[in-house]
Structure 1
Amino acid sequence: MRRSLRTLAAGLVVLSVGAAGCGSDSPQPARVVDISQLDVGSYSTTPREIGKPGFDRARLSEGQRLASFVPLPMDVDPRFTVQSGAGTHNTVGFIETLYAMEFSADSFRAIAPGFITGVYSLGYSDSDTLIATTLTNTVLLFADQQAATLAAAGLAQAVATKKELNEPVGIGKHPDAQAFWKPGTQELYTFQASGQYVIYTETRDRAKIQLETTDLPAMIALTEKSLDTVGTRLREFRPTPPDKLTDVPLDHDGMLGRSLTRPKEDDWSNPPGLFDRNGALHLINDPVREKKLFEEAGVDWLANSAGYLYRARNQRGAQLIRDSHGALSKIYRRVDSPKYLPDARCREFRAKNSLILRFHCVASYERYTAEVWSDQLIDVHQRISAQYALLAKAK
């Protein structure tokens, strides 16, 4: 049971210690940590109430909720086991299409009025993205079916013109889909209106691009399979009426309120938000492994802000996530944990990749696990310390 800070003498809280045994139902022994001694830098450690959202923030939250109903690339085809070729944070829910379609916001608004929110999903067939086949699905939600139908036609033509795709392609069981390619290339771009949605699918085979060979039937088959899978899953989602969006709470059980507030310098990464277990898997590099871990640990929610905050079934589940995500490998070496928080698992990334932050720490508190990244060791220490202290203070 969670103990309020007021019940702890001199600001002392209990931190789980030791690796959680996979075959044990009991958490490991605990040691006492004085959170008043933690170096939290300028980060706030006060839990906050998340107020009523403005319209654009509510649109973004709707997109993050929609992510739970967009299949993972591996759910379309099991070969797509890698979701992020580089970097720790994927853009998932969005309210502009700069990332997904390379349009400016003004250009997109002119082509697609009535747009509410979108979800971006990307999968690779190989960790070496230079030779991988890729599957990208972007789901765009519009105010009504008419807006989606008009947007699908306008966006298809705009993308075909922008990318110099000069040959239409038929997509099997989806005669309403508008697909284009440039003969001699191994890339296919498809738009389909489906109710209030526009499904934008890209398939690309980088190995064939390198070898200068093509297989259009294979691209069509994958696109058809993807449209089938995405369309079926979307039927389970119930969009919020536009005039009711700001009435939908942003937080759930205080998850965002107890997550570390993101500093301004983190604005480049995935927008802050809340995801259930299905939606959270879109943010993960290795969805096959993490899906199994989430099931074993009982993860039900993930808050994304200045890092990731997972809620597990219980303390043991939180420890499973901590130990799994803090494990060492050929490209990660152990570095010191923060002073007064010795059971945080901290690592340094040792490979050359400018898109991956150098330092990473993970720690668990009761049924929560916090995970943070930074290019500076002192900052990653302050982040994990502040997030831990914040969890300890939350009711």
Structure 2
Amino acid sequence: MRRPLRTLAAGLAILSVGAAGCGPDSPPPRPAIDISRLDVGSYPTAPREIGKPRFDHARLSEGQRLGGFIPLPMDINPRFIFQPYSETGPVLAFIETLYSLNLSVDSFKANAPGFIAGFDGLAYSENDVSIATSLSNAVLLFADQQSATSAAATLAQAIATKQGLREPVGIGEHPAALAFWKPGTQELYSFQADGPYVIYTEVKDQAKIAVGTTDLPAMVSLVQQSLDMVGARLHGFRPTPPDKLTDVPIDHDGMLGRSLPRPNEDGWRNPPGLYDRTGALNLSSDPVRDKKLFDEAGVDWLVYNAGYLYRAESRKGAQLIRDSHSAPSKLYRRIDPPKSLPTARCREFRLTDVVTNRFHCTASYDRYTAEVWSNQLIDVYQRISAQYAILAKAT
């Protein structure tokens, strides 16, 4: 087409849009996406029905649900705003052993009979973890109060022995807390039974460890703050009776069924699952930003599977998440999206890092925003394309 004809065609297109009723405040029309042309590789592109879970899957779902009733570290103390990178799959809900306890599965089971599921949150006071204070809170749910009380004592003793913690420490207004430390170190470990729960709190100050100084009152104060808030929030949680766990649906409004299934090579990551807004913030590497963003966008659910799938209040909210989570920065440069999915936002990590994946893409469809990452460009394109196709077919 010659240039004058191209200009005329463009003008007619604009007139056509105006004639269709688009006023000056109307958003520009979205590019039409032909999902049959998307390169999805071997990834599935159809939504799924999530059936009745097996017992261990139901336990894991209970732990993920529990995450919605545990405060973020930054809610306990505003210093703790740096959370682990989400791409590496932080350990959150668990059913075998708590990673930070450093106990084998067999040792954990021997010390915690009646354990159902747990949820662990972790954050740092500094971006550089080598000089940061860390605050870890885990809540372990047991079949009954007796099991929790017994496990608090046996786990506390097991950790005290393993870590060489010789001196018990009183935690202010929490006389039932079993806390230990090794004099001369800046680490404190605490276990407290609270109904059917065991609340495990761990505080480490790497800067003081490095220079060989201690401040036990500061650690005790932080553990007390944590126990106060965690205990108060847990009052709102209603545990599912163990014999009813498999009767509770693990999906919500088809969210899990809309998510891109995780490939086998991602099997090392934190288990897939569904989180409410509070639980989702535990997966964020920037919870201050995302707390504000989730409120503005109206996020209510997040699925963690082959990537993240957010549900917002509206299409506009979904686009807010897409654009915020794909913004270029000092560490990320913008790259082209897949050719058949021009509405996606993609970027590349500028540095070489064993923790952070090189490529990252987001895309929104209706109320949903997908976020995926990979060290291979073709793979991240195929993931975001397949997730988009699933969302398009689910509506």
TM over 0.5: yes
What's the counterpart of residue 201 of structure 2? Answer: 201
**Structure 2 letter corresponding to 1:29:** P
1:89 is displaced (CA, Å) by: 2.6
Q: Within 1, Cα distance between the matches of 2:85 and 2:131?
A: 12
1:164 is displaced (CA, Å) by: 0.4
1:87 is displaced (CA, Å) by: 4.5
What's the counterpart of residue 61 of structure 2? Answer: 61
Report the more deviating stretch, 330-339 or 31-40: 330-339
Question: SS of the counterpart of 1:257?
Answer: helix
Q: Within 2, Cα distance between the matches of 1:122 and 1:66?
A: 15
Question: Are the counterparts in 2 of residues 347 and 359 from structure 1 also a CA contact under 8 Å?
Answer: yes
Question: SS of the counterpart of 1:36?
Answer: helix
1:70 is displaced (CA, Å) by: 0.5
1:101 aligns with 2:114: no
Per-residue CA deviation, residues 318-346 of structure 1 (Å, 9 max, x unaligned), is: 11000000100011111221121112111
1:324 aligns with 2:320: no
Report the more deviating stretch, 333-342 or 295-304: 333-342
**Structure 2 letter corresponding to 1:323:** D
- Equivalent pairs counted in the alignment come to 372
The residue correspondences of 1:215-364 to structure 2 (distance < 5 A) are: 215-364=215-364
What's the counterpart of residue 152 of structure 1? Answer: 152
1:351 is displaced (CA, Å) by: 2.3
What's the counterpart of residue 37 of structure 2? Answer: 37
Question: Are the counterparts in 1 of residues 168 and 178 from structure 2 also a CA contact under 8 Å?
Answer: yes
1:179 aligns with 2:179: yes
What's the counterpart of residue 386 of structure 2? Answer: 386
Q: Within 1, Cα distance between the matches of 2:97 and 2:333?
A: 37
Q: Within 2, Cα distance between the matches of 1:182 and 1:339?
A: 59
1:367 is displaced (CA, Å) by: 0.9
Report the more deviating stretch, 351-360 or 256-265: 351-360
Q: Within 2, Cα distance between the matches of 1:279 and 1:315?
A: 22
Q: Within 2, Cα distance between the matches of 1:297 and 1:71?
A: 21
Per-residue CA deviation, residues 185-232 of structure 1 (Å, 9 max, x unaligned), is: 100000000000000100111111111110000000000110011001
What residue ranges of structure 2 are gaps of 5+ in the alignment?
A: 1-23
Displaced runs of 4 or more, over 4 A: 24-28, 85-88
Q: Within 1, Cα distance between the matches of 2:41 and 2:391?
A: 16
Q: Within 2, Cα distance between the matches of 1:182 and 1:220?
A: 13
Q: CA 1:271 to 1:393, structure 2 compared with 1: closer, same or farther past 3 Å?
A: same
What's the counterpart of residue 123 of structure 2? Answer: 123
| Two-structure CA RMSD over aligned residues (Å) | 1.3
1:100 is displaced (CA, Å) by: 3.0
Structure having the higher Rg: 2
Q: Within 1, Cα distance between the matches of 2:258 and 2:38?
A: 17
Q: Within 2, Cα distance between the matches of 1:352 and 1:207?
A: 26
Q: Within 2, Cα distance between the matches of 1:309 and 1:152?
A: 36
1:25 is displaced (CA, Å) by: 9.2
TM-score by length of 2: 0.92
Q: CA 1:28 to 1:72, structure 2 compared with 1: closer, same or farther past 3 Å?
A: farther
Q: Within 2, Cα distance between the matches of 1:100 and 1:275?
A: 21
Per-residue CA deviation, residues 61-92 of structure 1 (Å, 9 max, x unaligned), is: 00000000010001100110111158443221
What's the counterpart of residue 14 of structure 2? Answer: none
Q: CA 1:289 to 1:28, structure 2 compared with 1: closer, same or farther past 3 Å?
A: farther
Question: Are the counterparts in 2 of residues 348 and 359 from structure 1 also a CA contact under 8 Å?
Answer: yes
1:98 is displaced (CA, Å) by: 4.7
Question: Are the counterparts in 1 of residues 85 and 284 from structure 2 also a CA contact under 8 Å?
Answer: no
Structure number with the bigger relative contact order (C-alpha 8 A, sep ≥ 6) is 1
TM-score by length of 1: 0.92
Q: CA 1:27 to 1:181, structure 2 compared with 1: closer, same or farther past 3 Å?
A: farther
**Which structure shows the bigger proportion of residues in helix conformation?**
2
Question: Are the counterparts in 1 of residues 326 and 345 from structure 2 also a CA contact under 8 Å?
Answer: yes
What's the counterpart of residue 52 of structure 2? Answer: 52
